[in-house]
Structure 1
Amino acid sequence: MLISTKGRYGLRSLADLVYYGQKKPVPLRVIAERQGISESYLEQVFALLRKAGLVNAVRGSYGGYVLARPAHQITVGEVLKALEGPLTLANCTPGGSPAECDKMDTCLTMPFWQELSAKIDEVLSSTTLQDLVKKGQTTGKGPDSKS
Structure 2
Amino acid sequence: MKISTRGRYGLRAMIDLCMHAQGEYISLRSIAKRQYLSSGYLEGIFAALKKAGLVHGSAGSCGGYLPALPADQITIRMILEPLESSMSLLDGPENGASSLRSFLNREVWSKVDRAVACLLDATTVADLMREFENRDHAVDSSSL
Q: TM-score range by the shorter chain?
A: 0.7 to 0.9
Q: How many residues align?
A: 140
Partner of 2:120: 124
From 99, 108, 111, the counterpart of 1:112: 108
Verify the 8 A CA contact 1:13 1:31 in the aligned structure 2: yes
Counterpart amino acid of residue 49 in structure 2? L
Instruction: Identify the residue that residue 98 of structure 1 maps to in structure 2.
Output: 94
Q: Runs in 1 of length 4+ with deviation above 6 angstroms?
A: none
Contact 2:25 2:58 in 1 (8 A): yes
Paired residue for 1:31? 31
Question: Could you list the per-position Cα deviations for residues 4-62 of structure 1 after superposition, in whole angstroms to 9, with x for gaps in the alignment?
Answer: 11100000001001111112110110000010001101111111111111111023332
Note the 1:52-91 alignment, pairs <5 A. 52-91=52-91
Structure holding more helix per residue:
2
Partner in structure 2 of residue 11 of structure 1: 11
Instruction: Judge conservation of contact 1:32–1:39 (CA < 8 Å) in 2.
Output: yes
Q: Any stretches of 5+ residues in structure 2 without a counterpart?
A: none
CA contact (8 A) 1:98 1:104 kept: no
Note the residue ranges of structure 1 that are not aligned, 5 or more in a row.
Answer: none
Q: TM-score, normalised by structure 2?
A: 0.86
Q: Is the 8 A contact 2:25 2:63 kept in 1?
A: yes
TM-score (norm 1): 0.84
